[in-house]
Amino acid sequence: MSLQPTQASLGELAQALANKTISSVELTSLFLERCERLNPQLNAFITLDREKTLAQARSADARLAAGESGPLLGIPLAYKDIFCMRGWLTTCGSKMLANFVAPYDATVIEKFNTAGSVCLGKTNMDEFAMGSSNETSYYGAVKNPWDTTAVPGGSSGGSAAAVAARLAPAATGTDTGGSIRQPAALTNLTGLKPSYGRVSRYGMIAFASSLDQGGPMARTAEDAALLLNVMAGFDARDSTSVEAPVPDYTQTLNGDIKGLRIGLPKEYFSEGLTKDVAQAVEAAIGEYKKLGAQVVEVSLPNSQLAIPCYYVLAPAEASSNLSRFDGVRYGYRAPEYTDLLDMYCKTRAQGFGPEVKRRIMIGTYALSAGYYDAYYLKALKLRRLIAQDFQAAFEKCDVIMGPTSPSTAFKIGAKSDDPVAMYLSDIYTISVNLAGLPGMSIPAGFDPAGLPVGLQLIGKYFDEPRLLNVAHRYQQVTDWHHRTPKGFE
């Protein structure tokens, strides 16, 4: 068989399935075997269930045999373990949910099931999506396939490592402050955070409800477009879901980008950005110029305040969202306690990890009487200013570009004792979530140590078609996205 499934695009896999060159069971078995063999090196998956996965593949084969077709029918995908999936363990990377089997499907999972996708497994993640390195998971750190002593980024690090190491053709992730884009940058993937409200959050375990957004993680912009076609759309069960028509994101991929105005924020190319990342990003901008794009300087004056703003708002929302984990209805319960209050205290003390506790405490403090105006209200005002900065910048340009992460992947444990240093690794991504804009990261080269660099693209509200088009045109003239980590070919 000429098709090499681990290196094939989603389109090529769909074609092979339609032509009966390979069955969904054969394709899924091949990826399952890779997962079972290689996952111990990476810790990318929390749950693999061969029986359930192959049952879905057999069902997809039956649909194909009946003459059904679809771009994702029969294709195995990995899902971040933050999406509830009926009958599957759904842990959110936490001891608190280590025994929780979801009784229903998240809307995103429902949509993929309808499309006929097969669930390969649930991927590892920072606990309750709180982290930038995938080291806060109750199930242990995920390792970066490009260097297994380095982090893959977080919180969608398991999904990133799985796709980068070709354990899965593509995966879902979620992005609250950069959790799709930053791991995509650190593992040489294409990751897209859609506009807030574009993808339903129903059944996606909440961290910070006004910031969380699900999105695709794949090797190419074309694959990301196919995934977003399934994921996007209005959902009446999610009050933050936006009722707007969903275009076919693959239709505009090949549009001409001659005359495209690229905004480069001066604040993204200042202190804190490593030389290797800066050089790769500048080289990528050079490629866009060759494609006929023009560059304009823009300013995002409040972007330096995005980190303090985010680390007031996100923990405040987390402290509220995570109050439901009390040992009463579901999840972990402390084995010994004297009364109800003691059960609450011990359950939460034993069930949550240090980073989650830190954020709950920060959030509860910021929302408490006497501090609400000083912190939370100020952060809300600053959030509005950050959104206005983007609106002003987009009057001069069509898309904003810059680095996704200030450095390439750092060593596991390098920032564990310094939360602020860890928080700063999201400096270029967080403001996009605060403004609710779409953003994506695409492969843009490697540093001298062979670690990937990501280029970030930021678009106007619901301008995902343009972002995918701009990313796709770059990928047509570069081959960074085809590179595979050594040992995982």
* pLDDT over 70, % of the chain: 100
Q: Is residue 377 part of a domain?
A: no
Q: What is the dihedral of CA 125, 128, 134, 137, to 10 degrees?
A: -80
Instruction: Identify the pLDDT of residue 350.
Output: 98
CA of residue 217 relative to chain centroid, distance: 6
pLDDT level of residue 483 (50, 70, 90 thresholds): very high
Q: Is residue 15 part of a domain?
A: yes
Instruction: Print the domain residue range for 150.
Output: 5-260
The partner residues of 193 in beta bridges, in order of sequence, read 439
Count of domains forming the chain? 1
Could you identify the residue written with the tokens 């759904």? 90
> Residue 307: inside a domain, yes or no?
no
Report how far residue 477's alpha carbon sits from residue 200's, in angstroms, rounded to the nearest whole number.
Answer: 34
For residues 44-64, average pLDDT? 98
Give me the CATH number covering residue 252: 3.90.1300.10
- How many CA atoms does the CB half-sphere of 114 hold within 13 Å? 11
Q: Exposed, middle or buried: residue 434 (CB in 10 Å: 0-12, 13-18, 19+)?
A: buried
Amino acid occupying residue 168:
A
Domain-embedded: residue 479: no
Instruction: Name the CA radius of gyration of the chain, rounded.
Output: 21
Q: Which long-range contacts (CB under 8 A, 24 or more apart) does 474-479 make?
A: 474/284, 474/287, 474/288, 474/291, 474/442, 475/190, 475/220, 475/221, 475/222, 475/442, 477/287, 477/290, 477/291, 478/284, 478/287, 478/443, 478/444
Residue 432: other Cβ atoms inside 10 A: 29
Task: Give 195's DSSP letter.
Answer: P
Beta pairing partners, 298: 265
Query: pLDDT band at residue 330, thresholds of 50, 70 and 90?
Result: very high
Summarize the confidence of residues 137-148 as an average pLDDT. 98
Specify whether the CB–CB gap between 119 and 75 falls below 8 A.
no
Q: What is the mean pLDDT of residues 138-152?
A: 98
Cα gap 146→188, rounded to integer Å? 9
The Cα–Cα gap between 315 and 371 comes to 14
Question: Rounded to an integer, what distance in angstroms lies between the CA atom of residue 409 and that of residue 201?
Answer: 29
* Beta carbons of 104 and 203 less than 8 angstroms apart: yes
pLDDT above 70 for 444: yes
Once rounded to an integer, what is the mean pLDDT over residues 38-59? 98
Please check whether residue 211 lies inside any domain of the structure: yes
* Per-residue model confidence (pLDDT) at position 424: 87
Query: Residue 156: pLDDT above 70?
Result: yes
| Inside any domain, residue 127 | yes
Q: Is cis: bond before 69, omega within 30 of 0?
A: no
pLDDT value of residue 305: 94
Within-domain flag for 436: no
- Whether 38 and 484 have beta carbons less than 8 Å apart is answered as no
Residue 94 lies in a domain: yes
Position 1 scores a pLDDT of 45
Cβ neighbors of 228 (< 8 A, separation 6 or more) are 192, 194, 199, 215, 216, 249, 464, 468
pLDDT at 325 over 90: yes
Each as own residue / partner, the long-range contacts of residues 304-307 (CB below 8 Å, 24 or more positions apart, any chain) are 304/267, 305/382, 305/386, 306/386, 306/427, 306/430, 306/431, 306/434, 307/423, 307/424, 307/426, 307/427, 307/430
Output the CA torsion sign for 234, 237, 241, 243: positive
Residues tagged active-site: 80, 155, 179
Q: Which residues, 6 or more positions from 429, have their beta carbon under 8 angstroms from its beta carbon?
A: 175, 177, 178, 181, 182, 404, 405, 439, 456
Q: Got the DSSP string for 32-73?
A: HHHHHHHHHHH--EEE--HHHHHHHHHHHHHHHHTT---TTT
Q: Is the pLDDT of residue 378 over 90?
A: yes
pLDDT in tens, 77-119: 999 999 999 999 999 999 999 999 999 999 999 999 999 999 9
Question: What average pLDDT does the chain have?
Answer: 96
Q: One-letter amino acid identity for 82? A: I
